[in-house]
Amino acid sequence: MLMQTAPKVSRYIGGIICTVGGIYLGNGYGASYWRFTPFDLAWDTLVRGSLLIAVGFFLIAVSK
């Protein structure tokens, strides 16, 4: 029973992680963090949001 629900649960978790990554990137865009200077938070926002989305897509792909 547990082995049957594991793919569905990992798919939902992957979708939630993708959503959080998209919100994180959207907040960075909305807060005008896209200034790309060496001491700004833009690179951090871009990298963290992209990594969250990549991990979410990975979990969704593995669950199928």
The structure's pTM equals: 0.70
- What SS3 string covers the chain? CHHHHHHHHHHHHHHHHHHHHHHHHHHHHHCCCCCCCCCCCHHHHHHHHHHHHHHHHHHHHHCC
Predicted pLDDT at 38: 59
pLDDT tens for the chain, 64 residues long, are 556 777 888 888 999 999 888 888 777 766 665 565 655 556 677 788 888 999 999 988 888 7
Can you tell me the distance from the alpha carbon of 49 to that of 57, in angstroms, rounded to the nearest whole number?
Answer: 12
What pLDDT is recorded for position 64?
73
Residue 37's pLDDT is what? 61
Please give the pLDDT value at position 32: 62
